[in-house]
Amino acid sequence: MTGEPFDVELARKETPGCASVIHLNNAGSSLMPQPVLDAVIDHLRLESRIGGYEAAAEAADDVSGVYASAARLLGCTPQELAVLDSATRAWDLAFYSIPFQQGDRILTSEAEYASNFIAYLQVAQRYGVQVEVVPNDESGQLSVARLRELMDDRVRLVSLTHVPTNGGLVNPAVEVGRVAREAGVLYLLDACQSAGQMPLDVDVLGCDLLSLTGRKYLRGPRGTGLLYVRADRLDELSPPMLDLHAATWVSRDGYEVRPGARRFESWECNYAAKIGLGAAIDYALGWGLASIRDRVYHLADGLRVRLGGIPGVEVRDVGSERCGITSFTAEGLSGEEIKAFMARRGINVSVSRVASTRWDMENRGLDEVVRASVHYYNTIEEIDLFCRTLAEALAS
């Protein structure tokens, strides 16, 4: 704990959406704070006034600032970062640039996100790669002991979802990094749900590749994502596509790939969104990621305790460390019914289904869970109201 009181009032004052909704869908997409909104809209206005290329030139410092800010967020250098339009694209570009060979093994987790697993299956079919899911330990997090047992010299990649899309689990990413490092094996971390919610340092995590999204806990605009590629791993990866931004056409039959991770970017991008991502990262750094984590975990713990006290409701979060994503099921009501009931009262929650985290959901015998994900701008009063509303829905 950082011990400092969190200025919730300020956080809410700077979040226009707090006036209109109780937003418990932060794992889907958070409410943007005013400075992020302003950064995006100001740039769009500038584009409309002076032209898109001219606006990009005028905002060059803000654009390069995105890399500097993200480097501070992740403890890396700006050259190790690429800005993309989603976490999935960032993750894909890293994953599909690995030169897999027949017989290679990929070790991954039960909590894996559907898009990642679909990509594993595609390369498994394409190259004869073996995909193996490391079982969880009794707490429900990836078993580091089992991972260690499964390591051998055929393992080409350890690929882990840090925080899954469907619950509060925080996988032991640092311990996994230690195992991958000892073996010298490439380690790809999907930090989509952890970024913006807790401190992340790529050297502490020991990851070689990391992907994240802008719109979730970072509170950035939609259509933004980031890829981190460790500098000394860059040359063993071959980007699946290159354009005139990722490489230079130096002779009729020659091109040179751009130095650094920006070889994974493409030339065109949404500059307003990119600048907004930078503003969101700066905003998160302003609060401090440890303070954010403490506040978010505190609220989620409170939510779980209250949910546990409602008859018929079962909290479904697993793992020894639990973050801001709270998941539950309720007897007699489907996820969609709960979501709709809440929506009528101005409360946003979402439903997570088996097809987005199939291994985990099937292993736990779950079809769906309701996901109520808190952010630091939520309050205990909102959580109380949400729980009262849920009890009401169950009684109706």
Q: Which residues bind ligand PLP (CB under 6 A)?
A: 86-88, 113, 161, 164-165, 190, 192-193, 213, 225
Q: Which is nearer to ligand PLP, 115 or 389 (CB)?
A: 115
Helices (H), ranges, 128-216? 144-150, 173-183, 202-205
Whole-number minimum distance, CB 317 to ligand PLP, in Å? 15
Q: Which is nearer to ligand PLP, 226 or 333 (CB)?
A: 226
Whole-number minimum distance, CB 251 to ligand PLP, in Å? 37
Helix axes 380-395, 335-344, angle to 10 degrees: 120
Q: Which is nearer to ligand PLP, 33 or 225 (CB)?
A: 225
Non-local (6+) Cβ contacts of 102 within 8 A are 127, 128, 129
Angle at 78 between CA 286 and CA 36, to 5 degrees: 40
Round to whole Å and give the CA distance between 347 and 199. 28
Whole-number minimum distance, CB 216 to ligand PLP, in Å? 6
The encoded tokens of residue 45 equal: 């206005």
Whole-number minimum distance, CB 198 to ligand PLP, in Å? 14
Whole-number minimum distance, CB 95 to ligand PLP, in Å? 12
Q: Which is nearer to ligand PLP, 109 or 389 (CB)?
A: 109
Closest alpha carbon to 205 in 184, 179, 231: 179
Round to whole Å and give the CA distance between 200 and 205. 7
Whole-number minimum distance, CB 165 to ligand PLP, in Å? 3
Q: Which is nearer to ligand PLP, 237 or 325 (CB)?
A: 325
Q: Which is nearer to ligand PLP, 113 or 283 (CB)?
A: 113
Whole-number minimum distance, CB 14 to ligand PLP, in Å? 23
Residue matched to tokens 């704990």: 1
Round to whole Å and give the CA distance between 220 and 36. 7
Closest alpha carbon to 39 in 241, 307, 220, 161: 220
Whole-number minimum distance, CB 103 to ligand PLP, in Å? 27
Are 213 and 195 a contacting pair, CB within 8 Å? Answer: yes
Q: What is the 3-state secondary structure (H, E, C) of 161-183?
A: ECCCCCCCECCCHHHHHHHHHHH
Are 274 and 59 a contacting pair, CB within 8 Å? Answer: no
The encoded tokens of residue 326 equal: 């709270």
- Under DSSP, is residue 250 helix (H, G, I), strand (E, B) or coil? strand
Q: Which is nearer to ligand PLP, 225 or 239 (CB)?
A: 225
CB atoms within 10 A of CB 101: 11
Q: Which is nearer to ligand PLP, 97 or 165 (CB)?
A: 165
Whole-number minimum distance, CB 128 to ligand PLP, in Å? 26
Q: Which is nearer to ligand PLP, 212 or 313 (CB)?
A: 212
The encoded tokens of residue 231 equal: 């500098």
